[in-house]
């Protein structure tokens, strides 16, 4: 655990030095993530990308991703040590890729995968859309395909990146980025559709957030452990370049009001301001078992300021998905490469799995899905005290 040791030793040195200080010190608290390089694994074959992983009720892990234009899944029964051969969920059809999947296990133990048909070329009979399929046998077979939303056939009027949650009452809410309503501009909103029967039928789309003249994108919803509030992360370019932003609603209100540009329910995610010119896009939100929230994004800090050179960053927020900081970088991505379309999964013991799509580790210079495990490190509290010159505490 080389990375683990390098992360902890500076902390131990800091506390040793602090205990010898001659002046009163305030309480010190904090949390970090140490990434364990011994757990670095390739999850997909060459050409895989945009991976999302969850732990199932039976203890196995399932990961969905896109591969050669199809949406597929792989499983692990040894805590992500090894992975199965892929099972095709939604195969590519003539001229249409089945892209950017997301996965959710429902209360009845069935699996719901959302994905995004994306046509290529100029065939006006083929449309951008949001679809779902279900599995009732742990991901071995997939059925009950549904079309939740259909946008235009043109790329500039498409819909994108579905992601879903299930509420305590059993309702499923699926969010996606939507350009279709704004065919005369470059604007984009976040839309939501709802199912009350386990994903078999769906409501009409409703706009939940929109910043005029901007592009709310890539929503990732999460029901906070307080049981009262649901949030989703987005990339928001209302500043200048994309930045991670949190959109929120109470369960009681359930998106009754659209969250606009200056709304109190729209919050810049990071505790510290970053230059408007930097790119910090494609955020992904989860919550630790201990209550803290974690957020990943693909950022260009200390790199060439271009999305194609960005890498995965992970920050830690409070239990309300605010004030994200304590940034770490899970993967050692070469400066001329990128780590894109990242996600996070939190296991029962609070272990974090980070996923990225990168060619940085490939012998063939082709994007692949890679994962690494992280462990939460808590800084010990240093109580306020007076220390004499011999190092003995009074």
Q: What is the pTM of this model?
A: 0.89
| Residue extent(s) of CATH 2.120.10.10 domains in the chain | 43-209
**Rounded distance, CA 322 to CA 264, Å?**
13
Strand runs labelled E in 318-367: 325-328, 339-346, 352-358
Instruction: Provide the pLDDT for residue 381.
Output: 52
Q: Are strands 70-76 and 311-317 parallel, antiparallel or unpaired?
A: unpaired
**Rounded distance, CA 179 to CA 159, Å?**
6
**Rounded distance, CA 238 to CA 235, Å?**
9
For 37, other C-beta atoms within 10 Å of its C-beta total 15
Contacts of 309 by beta carbon, 8 Å cutoff, 6+ apart:
300, 303, 335, 336, 337, 338
For 43, other C-beta atoms within 10 Å of its C-beta total 23
Instruction: Provide the pLDDT for residue 364.
Output: 85
Query: Whose CA is closest to 293, among 342, 221, 243?
Result: 221
Instruction: Provide the pLDDT for residue 239.
Output: 84
Instruction: Provide the pLDDT for residue 380.
Output: 65
Q: What is the pLDDT along the chain (394 residues), one digit of tens a residue?
A: 333 333 333 333 333 333 333 322 222 247 899 999 999 999 999 999 999 999 999 999 999 999 999 999 999 999 999 999 999 999 999 999 999 999 999 999 999 999 999 999 889 999 999 999 999 999 999 999 999 999 999 999 999 999 999 999 999 999 999 999 999 999 999 999 999 999 999 999 999 999 999 999 999 999 999 999 999 999 999 988 999 999 999 999 999 999 999 999 999 999 999 999 999 999 999 999 999 999 999 999 999 999 999 999 999 999 999 999 999 999 999 999 999 999 999 999 999 999 999 999 998 889 999 999 999 998 765 444 333 333 323 2
Instruction: Provide the pLDDT for residue 208.
Output: 99
Check residue 78 and report its DSSP letter: S
Query: Whose CA is closest to 82, among 60, 59, 51?
Result: 60
Q: For the chain, how long is the longest CA-to-CA vector?
A: 82
Instruction: Provide the pLDDT for residue 393.
Output: 31
CATH class of the domain comprising 43-209: mainly beta
């Amino acid at each position: 655990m080389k990375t683990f040791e390098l992360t902890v030793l500076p902390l131990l040195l800091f506390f040793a030095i602090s205990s010898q200080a001659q002046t009163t010190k305030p309480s010190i608290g904090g949390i970090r993530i140490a990434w364990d390089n011994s757990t670095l694994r390739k999850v997909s074959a060459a050409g895989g990308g945009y991976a999302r992983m969850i732990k199932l009720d039976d203890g196995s892990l399932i990961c969905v991703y896109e591969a050669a234009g199809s949406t597929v899944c792989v499983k692990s029964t040894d805590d992500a040590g090894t992975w199965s051969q892929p099972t095709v969920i939604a195969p590519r059809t003539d001229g249409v890729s089945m892209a950017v999947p997301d996965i959710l296990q429902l209360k009845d133990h069935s699996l719901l995968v959302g994905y995004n048909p994306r046509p290529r070329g100029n065939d006006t009979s083929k449309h951008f859309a949001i679809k779902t399929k279900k599995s009732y046998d742990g991901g071995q077979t997939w059925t009950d395909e549904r079309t939740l939303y259909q946008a235009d056939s043109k790329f500039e009027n498409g819909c994108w990146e579905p992601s879903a949650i299930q509420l305590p009452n059993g309702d499923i809410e699926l969010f996606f980025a939507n350009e279709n309503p704004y065919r005369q501009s470059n604007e984009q909103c976040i839309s939501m559709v709802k199912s009350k029967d386990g994903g078999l039928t769906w409501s009409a789309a409703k706009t939940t957030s929109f910043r005029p003249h901007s592009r709310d994108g890539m929503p990732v919803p999460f029901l906070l452990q307080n049981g009262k509030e649901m949030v989703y992360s987005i990339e928001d370019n209302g500043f200048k370049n994309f930045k991670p932003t949190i959109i929120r609603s109470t369960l009681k209100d359930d998106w009754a009001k659209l969250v606009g540009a200056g709304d109190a329910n729209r919050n810049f995610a990071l505790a510290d301001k970053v230059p408007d010119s930097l790119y910090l896009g494609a955020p992904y939100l989860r919550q630790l078992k201990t209550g803290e929230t974690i957020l990943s994004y693909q950022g260009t800090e200390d790199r060439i300021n271009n999305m194609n050179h960005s890498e995965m960053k992970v920050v830690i927020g409070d239990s309300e998905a605010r004030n994200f900081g304590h940034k770490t970088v899970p993967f050692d991505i070469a400066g001329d490469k990128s780590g894109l379309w990242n996600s996070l999964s939190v296991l029962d013991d609070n272990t974090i799995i980070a996923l990225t799509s990168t060619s940085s580790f490939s012998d063939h210079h082709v994007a692949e899905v890679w994962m690494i495990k992280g462990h939460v490190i808590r800084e010990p509290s240093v109580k306020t005290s007076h220390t004499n010159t011999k190092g003995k505490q009074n």
